[in-house]
Chain A
C-alpha cells in the first residue's frame, strides 16, 4: 500500500504527462488497458494455435518467424512509449502480408516451371505417378473378396473368381434389377499379407449359400466366405486409417512381383492388375529416384532437369508420365519472354497497345472531364447541381455491369448501336463492311476504338469530379486580375488555370495511368482480349493488354496454365509501371516548384 502523499504526486505527474501525451502514451486508462489486453490476447491465442499447428507439421522456419513476429508485436504494445511503432506495426504487418509476401512469392515462382503438369514437389508428384503405376486389361479377372486374418493377425483376402455369363454372341448378360453383369464364382484363391496368392481347393471353403452343388465349378451357390485356420475380419468396424491400409495392400501373384490383386469398388471386390514400373528411391529422400519398366528393364526413367521422369534422365528422353513436378528453371521464363521468336511479334504488339491504351485512356478522359468541368464552372450556368449529378452517373453505375451492357450494345448483329442507331435490319447478316454493319468487337482496329470509347464513358466522370474540385480551389481573383490585365480566356486557361490544375492533378493522372495500364476488368469483360489472333500459338488478342495476356497464360483454357511464365510477366509489368510512376512523380516535383 502506498501512502496518500505518494498518490498525490503520481496524480500530479499524470496530469503533467497527459498534457503532452500526444507523443508519449505511457499512461493509459483502465479501459484502454483492458481493450489492449483483450486484443493482444486474441492475437496471442491465434498465434499459439498457429504455432501448435506449425509444430505438428514440423514447419520449423515458419514457426520461428511466427514466434519472433508475435513476440515483437507483444513487446511493442506492452512496452511504454514508442508511439510511432504502435501506429506503424499493424500497417507494416498488412504491408508484409498482402504486398511484400505476394511480391516475393511471384518473384520466386517466376524462376520455377510451376504449371499444370508441374503442380507439386517431386515427392507429391511421384506419389501421383505411382498411383497410376498399374495396368488393368479389359478382360482382367475380377474377384469377390471375403476379409480374414491369419493366426498372426495378418489380414488375408479370400478371393472368389467371377466368371461372366455370356449370351450366344459372347455379350455379357445383365441382371435386370441391378444392371450388373451376371456371373458365377469359379476358382478360389487366398492372399495373405506378406505371402503370394495361392489357389485353394473348393472343397475346404465355407460358402455363402451352402448347397449340394457348391463343389461344381460354375454353380450358383455363392462365393467363399471362410476357410479353416483363419478368423473373420470385420472390416466395417475398422477405423478409416486401417481400412485405407487394407485398401493399399497389394497381393502379389508370384516372385516377379508384376501381377497383383488390388481392390476395386469397395472392400468387397478386387481385380487382377499388373505393375508397370518398379520404383526405387535409395535413401528415401528423392535424391536418386528411378522408375524401371518391368516389361523391359533396360528402360530406366530418372528425374530430368525439366521436372519429369525421362528415359535415363536425359532432357530429350521419353517421359514415363505426363505428370511432372516443380523445379527451378533459372531465367528460362524470362528467356521465353525475350527470346521466343513466336512470342516476340504478339508481345511487342501487346506492349505498344498497352501503352497506347493507357495513355489515350488518361488523355481522353482527362480532356473530356476537364472540358465539362470548365463548362460547368461558368458562373452563368443554371442547374449545375443537376447536370453534375447526371455527369457522375456512369461513375456511380457499377463498372462491371456497364462493360457488359456496352458489350451487348456493340453486338454486330443484334446490338442497339448497329440495329437502331445505324439502322441495320435486326439479325441480318451482311458480309460487306457497310456503314450500318460496323464490326464493333469483331475487327481488331474497331475493337480498339470501342474499348477506348467505353473506357472514356467509364472514366470521364472521375476526371470531371477531380478537375471540378481543383478548379474551385483556384482563387477567383487570379482569373479576374488576368482578365483586367487583358488576357483572353484561352490565355487564362493555358497560362493560369492549367499549371495550377496540373500541380494538384498530376499525381492523380499518374495513378490513373498506372490503373489503366493494368485495367484488367474492362478488357476482360468487354472483349476478353479478342478478336483473337492465334497465328502465333499464343492466345494473344488484338485488344489484349499485358495483364489480360498474362491472365490468359496463367488461367485461361486453350493454352494450358503456366504460372511460372505468368509470374515472370507480372514482375516485368511491376518494373514497367513502377519505373514509369517513379519518373513521373519526379517530374511533378518540377511542377510543385513553379507553385
Chain B
C-alpha cells in the first residue's frame, strides 16, 4: 500500500508540473497591444491596424465586443488589469463617462498632427481640459433636397416652405431632439454652455432663446410638422415624389433614397430612386438662423481612446494613435466603408464622393454632441416637451412648458 501511494504521489506531482508548464505564459519580444473594438466597426479598422502593426513590428490582438456592453466592460476590466490598451472606433460622447471612471489616459498630439485634423472633431474628445481620443471619422445630418421640386437650397429658417419638410423619421410619442437640434440652434439655444476646458453642466436651452424656439415649434406645428410622424419609407417616398422634397436626415439614408422604395396606395411614384451623382438629389448645409445665428447640428465622432492599463506599451500605442490621425489611415476608412474622414487631407480625397462632400460641407457648422455624463439625463424630457408642443398639448403656453422642463432637466443634471 505504501509503495503504491508514493507512486501515485509521484504521478500527481508530474501532472502538477506538466500543468504548471502549460500555464506559464511565454514571453514575446515585440511590444504587444490589445485593442477592443465594437463588432460593427471592427471590419472598418481591422486592416488599417494590422497593416500598421506589421510595418512597425508590433503584435496586435483585436477583440470584437458588443457595442452595447463594451463601455461597461471597459470600466471594470481596466482597474482589474484585464482591459485593452486601446478602445478603437468608439463614440466620442463616452469621453466624460469613461474619463470620470478613471479608465482613460489623456492623449497629446504634436502641432503638425493636430493641424491636420478638423478642429471640431478633435475637440469632441475634450473633457476637463484634456483630450482623451483621436478622431477617426465623423457623421452629421444635413438637409436632403429634391432639386426637381425645390431649385435652390433653403437659406434661412424663415424661408422653409410649409408642408414640404420631413424631419428624421418615425419619432413616435416623443419628439426627436437630435434631428430638431439645428432648428433649436437657429434660435441660439445650445444644449449645454461650454468654456475653454469643455462642456459645463449648465443647461443652455432655458431663457429667451429657448422660449423663442418653443414659440417657433408651436407656431409651425401644423405648417411644418403636422403629420411628420410617418415612417422611414414614407419619408423616402415623399422626398422622391416631391410631396415633401426636403428631408433632415443623415448619410445612413442615402443608399435607400438612391435605391427607392416600393410604391403603395398612399405613396406613389417612389420606386425609382434619385441620386447625388446624377444631380437628382442635393445635400445642403443647414440654413441661417434668426439674427445671424448659425443652425448647428450635432456631430458624432468615432475615435480611438488610450486606456489607463498599467501594462500598455505606451510608445507603440501612442504611435498608433498618431497614425490613425493621419491621412493614410483615414483614407483607408473611407475606401473601406465610406466614412467621412476627420483628417483634412483625407477628407479632400474622400470628397471625390459627392455624398461625403455634401455631408462634410454641411458639417462645417456641426458641434460635437456634448461628451459629459450629464448628457444622458437630457434626452428624455427634452424629447417629450418638444412632442407636447408639436401635438398642441403643452402644459400652459409652449414657452412656459419649455422653461419648466428645462428647469427640471437642470435639476436632473445637478443630481
Q: Which residues of A pack against B, CB within 8 Å?
A: 33-34, 37-38, 40-42, 44-46, 48-49, 52, 116-117, 119-120, 124-125, 127-129, 131-132, 134-136, 138-143, 162, 164, 172, 174-183, 235, 240, 243-244, 246-248, 262-267, 269-271, 273, 276, 321-323, 427, 429, 431, 442, 532, 534-535, 537, 555, 557-561
Majority secondary structure of chain A interface residues (helix, strand, loop or mixed): mixed
- Alpha-carbon distance A172/B111, docked complex (angstroms): 10
B318 touches A322 (CB 8 A): no
Tell me whether B373 is interfacial, beta carbon within 8 Å.
yes
**Max chain B CB contacts within 10 Å: which of A175, A243, A266?**
A266
Tell me whether B394 is interfacial, beta carbon within 8 Å.
no
Of B34-42, B181-189, B268-276, B374-382, the one touching chain A: B374-382
Q: Chain B residue with minimal CB distance to A560?
A: B373
B108 touches A136 (CB 8 A): yes
A265 and B318 contact, Cβ closer than 8 Å, known pairs A40-B12, A132-B130, A532-B380: yes
B344 touches A174 (CB 8 A): yes
A178 touches B72 (CB 8 A): no
B residues less than 8 Å from A244 (CB atoms): 312-315
Tell me whether B328 is interfacial, beta carbon within 8 Å.
yes
A residues less than 8 Å from B100 (CB atoms): 116-117, 322-323
Q: Chain B residue with minimal CB distance to A33?
A: B8
A135 touches B130 (CB 8 A): yes
Q: Chain B nearest CB: distance from A533 CB in Å?
A: 10
- Alpha-carbon distance A179/B32, docked complex (angstroms): 27
B111 touches A181 (CB 8 A): yes
What are 7 A-to-B residue pairs whose CB atoms are below 8 Å? Answer: A41-B15, A116-B373, A179-B328, A243-B314, A265-B318, A266-B319, A271-B110
Tell me whether B97 is interfacial, beta carbon within 8 Å.
yes
Tell me whether B63 is interfacial, beta carbon within 8 Å.
no
3 closest cross-chain pairs (CB), A and B: A179-B327, A179-B345, A266-B319
B residues less than 8 Å from A142 (CB atoms): 110-112
B345 touches A534 (CB 8 A): no
Of B16-24, B156-164, B289-297, the one touching chain A: B16-24
A37 touches B12 (CB 8 A): yes
| B94-143 at interface with A (beta carbon < 8 Å) | 96-97, 99-103, 105-116, 128-131
A125 touches B102 (CB 8 A): yes
- Alpha-carbon distance A321/B330, docked complex (angstroms): 33
Q: Chain A nearest CB: distance from B370 CB in Å?
A: 14
- Alpha-carbon distance A263/B322, docked complex (angstroms): 12
For A49, give its contact among B4, B19, B379 (CB under 8 Å): B19
Q: A132-B129, A265-B319 are in contact. List 10 more A-B contacts (CB 8 A).
A: A40-B12, A119-B103, A178-B345, A179-B116, A183-B111, A240-B31, A247-B314, A248-B314, A322-B128, A532-B380
For A558, give its contact among B308, B316, B344, B380 (CB under 8 Å): B380
A116 touches B12 (CB 8 A): no
B residues less than 8 Å from A180 (CB atoms): 112-113, 115-116, 326-327, 345
- Alpha-carbon distance A258/B128, docked complex (angstroms): 19
B residues less than 8 Å from A172 (CB atoms): 112, 115
- Alpha-carbon distance A338/B406, docked complex (angstroms): 28
Q: Which residues of B pack against A, CB within 8 Å?
A: 4, 8, 11-12, 15-16, 18-20, 23, 31-32, 72, 75, 79, 96-97, 99-103, 105-116, 128-131, 173, 227, 229-231, 308, 312-316, 318-319, 321-322, 326-328, 330, 343-346, 348, 373, 376-377, 379-381, 391, 408, 411-412, 415
Q: Chain A residue with minimal CB distance to B130?
A: A132
Q: Chain B residue with minimal CB distance to A535?
A: B408
A124 touches B79 (CB 8 A): yes
A residues less than 8 Å from B75 (CB atoms): 116, 119, 561
B residues less than 8 Å from A321 (CB atoms): 128
**Max chain A CB contacts within 10 Å: which of B15, B111, B113, B227?**
B111
B326 touches A559 (CB 8 A): no
B326 touches A322 (CB 8 A): no
A128 touches B31 (CB 8 A): no
For B102, give its contact among A128, A139, A532, A558 (CB under 8 Å): A128
B345 touches A176 (CB 8 A): yes
A558 and B322 contact, Cβ closer than 8 Å, known pairs A119-B79, A131-B308, A265-B110: no
Q: Chain B residue with minimal CB distance to A131?
A: B105
A117 touches B115 (CB 8 A): no
B residues less than 8 Å from A323 (CB atoms): 99-102
A267 touches B319 (CB 8 A): yes
Q: Chain B nearest CB: distance from A28 CB in Å?
A: 12
For A38, give its contact among B15, B315, B326, B373 (CB under 8 Å): B15
A559 and B376 contact, Cβ closer than 8 Å, known pairs A120-B102, A128-B102: yes
Q: Chain A nearest CB: distance from B45 CB in Å?
A: 17
- Alpha-carbon distance A34/B23, docked complex (angstroms): 24
B19 touches A42 (CB 8 A): yes
- Alpha-carbon distance A560/B328, docked complex (angstroms): 38
- Alpha-carbon distance A129/B128, docked complex (angstroms): 11
B20 touches A45 (CB 8 A): yes
- Alpha-carbon distance A129/B231, docked complex (angstroms): 47
- Alpha-carbon distance A508/B277, docked complex (angstroms): 67
- Alpha-carbon distance A128/B344, docked complex (angstroms): 32
A164 touches B128 (CB 8 A): no
B residues less than 8 Å from A559 (CB atoms): 376-377
Q: Chain B residue with minimal CB distance to A414?
A: B231
For A164, give its contact among B72, B115, B343, B379 (CB under 8 Å): B115
Q: Chain A nearest CB: distance from B36 CB in Å?
A: 17
A178 and B327 contact, Cβ closer than 8 Å, known pairs A41-B12, A42-B15, A247-B314: yes
A174 and B321 contact, Cβ closer than 8 Å, known pairs A45-B15, A179-B327: no
A266 and B106 contact, Cβ closer than 8 Å, known pairs A49-B20, A180-B113: no
B residues less than 8 Å from A141 (CB atoms): 111
A264 touches B318 (CB 8 A): yes
Q: Chain A nearest CB: distance from B126 CB in Å?
A: 10
Q: Chain A residue with minimal CB distance to B384?
A: A534
Q: Chain B residue with minimal CB distance to A145?
A: B110
B residues less than 8 Å from A561 (CB atoms): 72, 75
A269 touches B346 (CB 8 A): no
A119 and B315 contact, Cβ closer than 8 Å, known pairs A180-B113, A269-B110, A557-B376: no
- Alpha-carbon distance A141/B110, docked complex (angstroms): 8
B residues less than 8 Å from A265 (CB atoms): 108-110, 113, 318-319, 321-322
**Max chain B CB contacts within 10 Å: which of A181, A235, A427, A559?**
A181
- Alpha-carbon distance A532/B383, docked complex (angstroms): 13
For A263, give its contact among B96, B113, B116, B315 (CB under 8 Å): B315
B residues less than 8 Å from A181 (CB atoms): 111-112, 115-116
A174 and B115 contact, Cβ closer than 8 Å, known pairs A128-B103, A265-B322, A321-B128: yes
Q: Chain B residue with minimal CB distance to A539?
A: B380
For A243, give its contact among B101, B313, B412 (CB under 8 Å): B313
A116 touches B318 (CB 8 A): no
B20 touches A48 (CB 8 A): yes
Q: Chain A residue with minimal CB distance to B329?
A: A179
- Alpha-carbon distance A142/B11, docked complex (angstroms): 63
A322 touches B99 (CB 8 A): yes
- Alpha-carbon distance A270/B12, docked complex (angstroms): 56
- Alpha-carbon distance A48/B344, docked complex (angstroms): 57
